[in-house]
Every structure is written in structure tokens, then in C-alpha cells.
């Protein structure tokens, strides 16, 4: 672009005046004066020259960027497009890109000017038109100009800047409307831009080709050899050869990364010469990574590492050169102990993919001890999660017990944000690499003991050790999942331990029935199925079980599933002979091998890694002549007929008996969800919800990954706590209201009601039992954060009953007239007393809804204060123990831009900022 020396002194003076304004009112007054002046110039003086039009259009653009509406001047901006001067045409296009919408009636004139400039012989005009098209980037623009822009891209006499702008403009239109970009003869010619002498053209062309390749890879196969050739020239050159494109002694790092990514869209080259040249390039990159740094600045290491990690990604994608894979693993291992958190994270993530390769799997296993140390000592939860992923990926038969043991140890203190996924990984590894049943059963039971809330149906169905379960059920405190496991196993295999006097038939039944009243309806339904199984195994306790089945608590239960099972099982127990019972309730037969449903759950969370692991496992299985995992004759199934209905699923011979997703069938219904009733709710899965919602977050770890949510039986209430079952929006809604439901599921409803009197407040938490039966042994615990905030607020916890009556709502507001308001407003104009924010509206901009939220917040709305009736003006008092803090606010909505400008003035420094932040979350 040509150098321009045009100061536009009038614009500079106007900007200086705005910056020197002492208050918002003074700024608005100056802006209104300028708008009036510009309007009069446009309407009255018809002899404005290009410079004056440009100056006034610039002022309008600046005023718009300050957050004000501009409803005139658009035609003047369009007229600037007809100018032959670069600066005037540039300002015209800039104004159009920012202020004129796609549906504006002036867009037809703009499009005509764009066509004229694209056909111009002046490359500056062509560039300005291409930039405007890309900035607007609408579907209409794509439809009109997408067929024309490729011609500029491959035109022989087009300048380098035009080719560069054309490539980037076409990329923007392709991303907006890919169907509008025609694929024709130009596609084969655009590939040759990779050989262009101008590095800027090559960089832009690579970005365009990479996007096009994802849509039509076969049309761009020729780019592979050209990309390798260009990459070889970059990596073998010194930083002095490409001075204009060298970044902190690293030659063209951005172009190198783009070329490496482009090559990952294709398999390794078939041509031996091309493949060897690519291997040499990758070796050169690996060699340069271990050279002493040429600069101590972080930009140098960042650029070098960016190229290195992308090269390693390409090595993993090719998966054909063992030496390169092992070298890549070795260099990644050095990053595991790097003090930079981001490098440790990237190293763990890349090694997860390396572990899936048969060539580098053993090399990755050498770093097992380092990864375990990272799992125990790493401060960032996202890095710990990657460490878990890597341990899972590197696990095989030789180290399965050690890795599973480390994972179980970590599970005791693991963040709630990764517990659900960690439980799935442990269960999969235990099932896949079980060397004997004892280790497998102990692992699953430990899993339930340590993280029962996160153990899904598919996991607990795999625990099949009657003696171990019986001993576990004897514990005073027993998790409901353990009761489900015990009910199933004792119903199927209780006869195996009945010879021991300590586990006689009567003792087994009493042990199970002792937990019956503490369980949710789905678990009770499962236990009834276990009881009828016991009738078949132990005829001597038939009468005891019949007495339970015919009790009103079961036959007349409000839960349809329990009522139906009790009725049908009672009829079966009374009227059937022992031969009929033995046939109907016989032990479940083994079922065919198939893919694990918990593995399918994990694949949904990490599809790329899991698919890669499956490929490696199948390769290994094919070589060894065996199946993917050892056959564990775990006799359990759901559906088919009554002996398989311990969980009560519907009869269906094609059903997924264990939720293992075999043959493409859908996972089986949750326990207790079948039968003719079909209406019972799986309350346990609504609490555990593994695989449906992510696990809860941990505020202690500084990671973006800590924002996930999960459902737990324990409701954690507190700003610093992991409110997993209470979404962020549930907390925020209490900023503008004093009562409401905090959490609700099929069993429990938790509500909050607050009332405030001056500097004192009371928060009442109430619990509602939604089940027909009482909640036994129910208790609530309030944990106060151990921080200075607790002492400042003077929090006192008062124990109350299970239900607390509602209290009245009190808002502390303030009333005043216009004169009083502006008097206080000006008095509170010090920088530390004022806070102003301009932000996008998070909700529909409805005046009544906004008014309700402001009143709920505690402010009073003052009428006839602001000259603009659409604005909200109000006042309020923050009452504390040490005194009252007066606050004023002004909220200015901009319907066209869907934005707000909020200004808060407060007597005490810091209060206005906090009030501003809270109000922003609500509107």
C-alpha cells in the first residue's frame, strides 16, 4: 500500500476533546455538537470535497466505535468509493465494512463499486475491494463474487499483494458458504502457488488449500510433493536466508506449521524419493529442536516448539517410520519435566497418540514413572487429566496391575471434574487386562467404594464374586451401588456360599432385605427380582420371601414397577412347582464377546485417542491370534426372559444384555426401567449420570477444564466449592431474586430463600422429599470457606429442621428526584468511585424483563431523570455493619447493536466495580 501522510487535523482535535471530557455528560454534549455539525455539513454544503467527506465520515466512525448510534452519513461513505484517492476509498470501504448491514438498501451500490474496483487495473483498488468483501463475508457476497475471485488468484499478471488478498478473501467466502465456491480448472493452478517466490502468497495459498483439501482431497493430491519441496527449502535454510520471514531466528515458523498440517490430510507419499525427502525434513526439525537456543527470549522457544510439535503430529499421523517415532517420543519425554505447564500438557497429549503406535508404544512405557509422578504432584488439573489419559494409553498386560493401582490411589484425591472419566478408564483396563478373577473383582469393588457416585450401570454389572460382596454388604455403611451388586450376585450365585453358616440362605436374605428400605425404587425393584431368585435357590426361605412380597408396602406401592414385580413374583412363588421355578429362574448363561459399552462411553469423551487405541489393539490381537480382551465368563445379562430380568428390562432377544453395544444395537435400558409398567424413573442414574453429564469442577486447580459439571448425591453450596449439580446460571439468578429452586431431581428438591434487614441477612435452605417414602437418615451439612471473607461477613450457622418456612423478601432501595440524583452523580465522579462497562447483551433486550431484574437486584428505578426514556436510572443503598454505601447507576441499552453501557457510581471505592460485575452477569 502507498505511504500516506494525511493527519486530518479536525479528527485529531475531536478525539482530543473527547479524551479531555471530565464526565459522561460532557462527552455526550461534545458528541452531539459534532453530530449536529456533520449533519449540517452533509445537508447544507453541497460543495464538500473528498478530503472533507473523508474527515467527517472518519468522525462518524469514531463516534460509532464509542458506542453511539449513527443514522446518517452512509451515502457519503458510499460516494467515497468513487474516488481515485487511496485514503478516501479506504475510509469509505472501512465505514461500509463496519456500519452497513447486509440488508441495507445501499448494499447494491456498494456491490457495483466492488465490481468496478475488482476489474480495475490499479492493484491498490483491487486490494481494497477484496478486503471489503472478506470483512463483510456474507453469503450474498459469496454468491456474487466467489466465481470471480479465483480468476484474480491465478491471473498471470496479477501482483503478489493481489494474489495474497484474493487467496484470503476466497478462504473467508469458502468458510461462510462452501457450496458457493466453484471447483474448476483453477484448483489445479492454485496448487502451483506453493512454488511462488513471494512467501506471503505461499502462506495465504497454503491456508486456502488446507481448507479446500478437507472438502475435496482428491482434487489437491498434487500439493503433497510441492508442500514437501517448499518445507525442505525452509527447514534447510538459515535464518539469514529468509530475513523478512524469520521470527526470532526461526525461519518462517507459521508457514512451516501450515505446511505440516496440510500434509496431515494425506497418507505417507507412495513415491520413495518424496517420502525420503519428507523424512529428512522431519529429522532436520527434530535435530534443530535439540540445538542450543539462539535466543533466550520466550518468542524464540515458542516458535521452535510450535514447529516441533506439528512435526511430531505429522510423524504420528504417518506411523510408518519407527526411528522417527522413537526419536519423537524421546524428545517429548524431555518436556515432561519442563517447568512450563503448557509444554508439559502438550507433551502428555502427543505421547497419548504415540502410545497407540506399535512402533513407539514400548518407548512411551519407559516414561511411566515420570507420568505417575506428574499425576501425583502436578498442580494443574488439566495436566493431571492428560497424565491419566497417557497412563491409560500406555497400559498393556505387562503393566496393567501397576497402572490400575496408581489410578485407584489417585482416585481417592482426584478432582471431581475428572472422576467420572477416571472411573471408566479403570473399569475398562480392569476388564481388558484381568489376569485372574480375584484382582478384577477387588478392583471393581474398590472402584465402587472410592467413587460410587461415578460408577455407571455398565461398571457395576461386572462385579461377580458372591463371597466378597456378602462381606461388603455386612459393613455398617454400604453404598447403594454395592446393594445392587450384592442383589444380583447373591440372586445368581448365593448357593455357592450357602454351605458356610455365616452366609446361610436366611442370613443372605436378611442382609439384603435390611438394606431394602434405604434404597431408591429402581434398586428395590432389583432386590425383589433377587428375592424370587432366592426362592429358587433356597426353598426353605420361601415363606419369608412371600411375606415380604405380599406386604402392602410392595403390592400397593405407588411405584408401578415395584407393584407389578411384587404381584407377579408373588404369584410365581405361590403357584409354581419347583421344576417350573428352576426352569424360569435358572442361572444366566454366558453371552457372546462384544465391544464394551463403557469403552463406548469413553470413546464419546475422547474419540480420537480411543479410536487410535482400538487400531493398535486390533493389530496386536491379529498378530497374536487372539481376541481383543481375555474371555471372562461373567454370567450376567438383561432381557430375554425372566431369569435374565434381575434388573427388570423389557423382554427382547435382540436387546443389549449388558449395555455392551453389540452389533450396533442401542444400550439396554437402565435397571428398573422395563416391565409392563415402563413408567418408573431410574433415579440412581439420574444422580450418577455417568456419560450424560461431565463430572464436577474443582476450584483448586487453575485450569479451563475445571469448569465441567456433574451430578452428585452431596449438594455442595458455596462460592469456592464445586457446585457440580448446581449450574453457574443457577447461582447467578439469585443476584436479582431472593428465592428459588437451587437443585431438583426425581428424589429431592433443594430451594433457597433469603431476606435482609439493613446489614443483616438470613439464608434459608429447604429440602423437599419428592418420593412417596420418607428419606431416612437425612442430614444436611454446611461447610464455610476457610478464608478472610468468612470472618468479614460474620457468618453464623443455625441448625434447623428438615423443612424451614419461607421468609419475606426485602429490597433496600433509595428514592430521589432529578436534581438530587445529578447532584450526587457529580459528587461521585472520582475514578475510584466510578465504574463503566460496555458489553454484549446476554439475554433478549426486553425492557420489562430488565426492569424486573434491576428491582430484584435491590435498586429503585427513578423516572423522568434521563432525557432518553429507554435508559434506566436508579439508586440503592448497600447496608453493612460499619455503615451504608450509597450507589447510583445508569443503564443505556443499544437495541441495534444488542449492547449495553452500564455506569455505576458508589461512595466507597471498589463497590461500584463489584456492582457493575454482578449486574453484567444478569443482563
Residue 579 Cα distances to 32, 571, 665, angstroms? 96, 15, 34
Q: Is 876 annotated as a binding residue?
A: no
How many alpha carbons lie under 13 Å from residue 44 in its C-beta half-sphere? 6
188: helix, coil or strand? helix
CA dist 746 and 469 (Å) reads 28
Q: Is 56 annotated as a binding residue?
A: yes
Partners of 721 in the β-ladder: none
CA dist 91 and 161 (Å) reads 20
Q: Is 605 annotated as a binding residue?
A: no
Exposed (0-12), middle (13-18) or buried (19+): which is 77, by Cβ within 10 Å? buried
The answer to whether 644 and 652 have CB atoms below 8 angstroms apart is: no
CA dist 107 and 442 (Å) reads 71
CA dist 817 and 821 (Å) reads 6
CA dist 283 and 325 (Å) reads 11
Which regions of 210-295 does DSSP assign to beta strands (E)? Answer: 246-247, 250-251
Exposed (0-12), middle (13-18) or buried (19+): which is 608, by Cβ within 10 Å? exposed
Q: Is 57 annotated as a binding residue?
A: yes
Of 112, 89, 197, 179, nearest to 143 by C-alpha is: 179
The answer to whether 312 and 364 have CB atoms below 8 angstroms apart is: no
Q: Is 798 annotated as a binding residue?
A: no
Residue 674 Cα distances to 557, 655, 669, 746, 769, angstroms? 17, 12, 7, 18, 24
The answer to whether 345 and 705 have CB atoms below 8 angstroms apart is: no
Of 146, 131, 41, 135, nearest to 86 by C-alpha is: 131
Q: Is 214 annotated as a binding residue?
A: no
DSSP for residue 813: B
Report the greatest alpha carbon distance in the chain: 111
CA dist 147 and 145 (Å) reads 6
Q: Is 826 annotated as a binding residue?
A: no
Cell of 718: 458455596
Q: Is 531 annotated as a binding residue?
A: no
Exposed (0-12), middle (13-18) or buried (19+): which is 733, by Cβ within 10 Å? middle
CA dist 19 and 616 (Å) reads 64
**Residue with the three cell numbers 505421547:** 351
Q: Is 58 annotated as a binding residue?
A: yes
Of 408, 499, 520, nearest to 747 by C-alpha is: 520
The answer to whether 50 and 30 have CB atoms below 8 angstroms apart is: no
Q: Which residues are annotated as a binding site?
A: 9-10, 41, 51, 55-59
Amino acid at each position: 500500500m502507498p505511504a500516506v501522510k494525511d493527519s486530518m487535523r479536525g479528527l485529531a482535535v475531536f478525539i482530543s476533546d473527547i479524551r479531555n471530557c471530565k464526565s459522561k455528560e460532557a462527552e455526550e454534549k461534545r458528541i452531539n455538537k459534532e453530530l449536529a455539525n456533520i449533519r449540517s455539513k452533509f445537508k447544507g454544503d453541497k460543495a464538500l470535497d473528498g478530503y472533507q467527506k473523508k474527515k467527517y465520515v472518519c468522525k462518524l466512525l469514531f463516534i460509532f466505535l464509542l458506542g453511539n448510534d449513527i443514522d446518517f452519513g452512509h451515502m457519503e461513505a458510499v460516494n467515497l468509493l468513487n474516488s481515485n484517492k487511496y485514503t478516501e476509498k479506504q475510509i469509505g470501504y472501512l465505514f461500509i465494512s463496519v456500519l452497513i448491514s447486509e440488508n441495507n438498501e445501499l448494499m447494491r451500490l456498494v456491490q457495483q463499486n466492488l465490481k468496478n474496483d475488482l476489474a480495475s487495473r490499479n492493484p491498490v483498488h483491487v486490494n481494497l475491494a477484496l478486503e471489503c468483501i472478506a470483512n463483510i463475508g456474507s453469503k450474498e457476497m459469496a454468491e456474487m463474487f466467489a466465481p470471480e475471485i479465483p480468476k484474480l488468484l491465478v491471473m498471470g499478471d496479477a501482483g503478489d499483494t493481489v494474489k495474497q488478498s484474493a487467496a484470503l478473501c476466497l478462504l473467508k467466502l469458502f468458510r461462510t458458504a462452501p457450496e458457493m465456491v466453484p471447483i474448476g480448472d483453477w484448483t489445479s493452478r492454485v496448487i502451483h502457488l506453493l512454488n511462488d517466490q513471494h512467501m506471503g502468497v505461499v502462506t495465504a495459498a497454503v491456508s486456502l488449500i488446507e481448507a479446500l483439501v478437507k472438502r475435496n482431497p482428491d482434487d489437491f493430491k498434487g500439493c503433497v510433493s510441492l508442500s514437501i519441496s517448499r518445507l525442505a527449502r525452509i527447514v534447510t535454510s538459515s535464518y539469514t536466508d529468509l530475513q523478512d520471514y524469520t521470527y526470532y531466528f526461526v525461519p518462517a515458523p507459521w508457514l512451516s506449521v501450515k505446511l505440516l498440517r496440510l500434509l496431515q490430510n494425506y497418507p505417507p507419499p507412495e513415491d520413495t524419493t518424496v517420502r525420503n525427502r519428507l523424512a529428512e525434513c522431519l529429522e532436520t526439525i527434530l535435530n534443530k529442536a535439540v540445538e542450543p537456543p539462539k535466543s533466550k527470549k520466550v518468542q524464540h522457544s515458542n516458535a521452535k516448539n510450535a514447529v516441533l510439535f506439528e512435526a511430531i503430529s505429522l510423524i504420528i499421523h504417518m506411523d510408518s517410520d519407527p526411528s522417527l517415532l522413537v526419536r519423537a517420543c524421546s524428545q517429548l519425554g524431555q518436556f515432561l519435566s519442563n517447568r512450563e505447564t503448557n509444554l508439559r500438557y502438550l507433551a502428555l497429549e502427543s505421547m497419548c497418540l504415540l502410545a497407540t503406535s506399535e512402533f513407539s508404544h514400548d518407548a512411551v512405557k519407559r516414561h511411566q514413572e515420570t507420568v505417575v509422578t506428574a499425576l501425583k504432584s502436578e498442580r494443574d488439573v488439566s495436566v493431571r487429566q492428560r497424565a491419566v489419559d497417557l497412563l491409560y494409553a500406555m497400559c498393556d498386560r505387562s503393566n496393567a496391575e501397576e497402572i490400575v493401582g496408581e489410578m485407584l490411589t489417585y482416585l481417592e484425591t482426584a478432582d471431581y471434574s475428572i472422576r467420572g472419566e477416571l472411573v471408566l478408564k479403570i473399569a475398562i483396563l480392569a476388564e481388558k487386562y484381568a489376569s485372574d478373577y480375584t484382582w478384577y473383582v477387588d478392583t471393581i469393588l474398590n472402584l465402587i467404594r472410592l467413587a460410587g457416585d461415578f460408577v455407571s450401570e455398565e461398571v457395576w454389572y461386572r462385579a461377580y464374586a458372591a463371597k466378597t460382596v456378602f462381606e461388603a454388604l455386612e459393613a455398617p455403611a454400604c453404598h447403594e451401588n454395592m446393594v445392587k451388586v450384592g442383589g444380583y450376585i447373591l440372586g445368581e450365585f448365593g448357593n455357592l456360599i450357602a454351605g458356610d453358616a455365616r452366609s446361610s440362605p436366611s442370613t443372605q436374605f436378611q442382609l439384603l432385605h435390611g438394606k431394602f428400605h434405604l434404597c431408591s425404587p429402581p434398586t428395590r425393584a432389583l432386590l425383589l427380582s433377587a428375592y424370587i431368585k432366592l426362592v429358587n435357590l433356597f426353598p426353605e426361605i420361601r415363606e419369608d420371601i412371600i411375606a415380604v412380597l405380599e406386604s402392602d408396602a410392595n403390592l400397593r406401592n405407588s411405584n408401578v414397577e415395584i407393584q407389578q414385580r411384587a404381584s407377579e413374583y408373588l404369584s410365581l412363588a405361590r403357584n409354581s412347582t419347583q421344576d417350573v421355578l428352576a426352569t424360569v429362574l435358572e442361572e444366566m448363561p454366558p453371552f457372546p464377546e462384544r465391544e464394551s459399552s463403557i469403552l463406548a462411553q469413553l470413546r464419546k469423551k475422547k474419540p480420537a485417542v480411543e479410536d487410535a487405541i482400538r487400531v493398535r489393539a486390533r493389530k496386536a490381537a491379529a498378530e497374536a491370534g487372539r481376541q481383543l480382551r481375555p474371555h471372562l465368563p461373567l454370567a450376567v445379562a438383561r432381557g430375554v426372559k425372566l431369569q435374565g430380568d434381575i434388573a427388570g428390562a423389557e423382554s427382547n432377544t435382540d436387546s443389549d444384555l449388558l449395555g455392551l453395544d453389540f452389533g450396533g444395537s442401542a444400550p439396554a435400558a437402565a435397571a428398573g426401567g422395563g416391565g409392563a409398567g415402563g413408567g418408573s424413573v431410574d433415579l440412581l442414574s439420574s444422580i450418577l449420570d455417568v456419560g450424560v453429564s461431565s463430572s464436577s469442577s474443582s476450584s483448586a486447580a487453575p485450569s479451563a477444564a475445571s469448569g465441567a459439571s456433574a451430578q452428585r448425591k452431596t449438594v455442595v453450596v458455596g462460592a469456592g466449592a464445586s457446585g457440580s449439580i448446581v449450574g453457574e446460571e443457577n447461582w447467578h439468578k439469585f443476584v436479582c431474586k431472593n428465592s428459588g429452586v437451587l437443585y431438583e431431581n426425581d428424589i429431592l428438591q433443594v430451594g433457597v430463600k433469603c431476606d435482609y434487614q439493613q446489614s443483616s441477612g438470613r439464608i434459608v435452605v429447604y429440602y423437599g422429599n419428592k418420593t412417596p417414602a420418607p428419606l431416612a437418615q437425612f442430614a444436611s451439612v454446611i461447610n464455610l470457606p476457610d478464608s478472610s471473607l468468612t470472618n468479614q461477613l460474620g457468618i453464623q450457622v443455625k441448625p434447623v429442621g428438615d423443612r424451614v418456612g419461607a421468609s419475606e423478601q426485602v429490597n433496600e432501595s433509595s428514592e430521589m428526584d432529578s436534581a438530587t440524583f445529578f447532584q450526587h452523580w457529580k459528587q461521585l465522579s472520582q475514578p475510584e468511585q466510578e465504574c463503566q462497562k460496555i458489553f454484549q447483551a446476554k439475554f433478549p433486550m426486553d425492557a420489562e424483563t430488565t426492569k424486573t431484574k434491576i428491582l430484584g437486584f435491590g435498586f429503585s428505578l427513578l423516572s423522568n431523570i434521563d432525557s432518553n426514556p429507554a435508559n434506566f436510572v436508579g439508586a440503592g443503598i448497600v447496608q453493612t455493619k460499619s455503615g451504608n454505601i450509597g450507589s447510583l447507576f445508569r443503564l443505556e441499552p443499544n437495541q441495534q447493536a444488542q449492547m449495553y453501557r452500564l455506569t455505576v457510581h458508589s461512595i466507597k471505592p471498589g463497590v461500584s466495580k463489584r456492582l457493575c460485575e454482578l449486574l453484567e452477569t444478569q443482563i
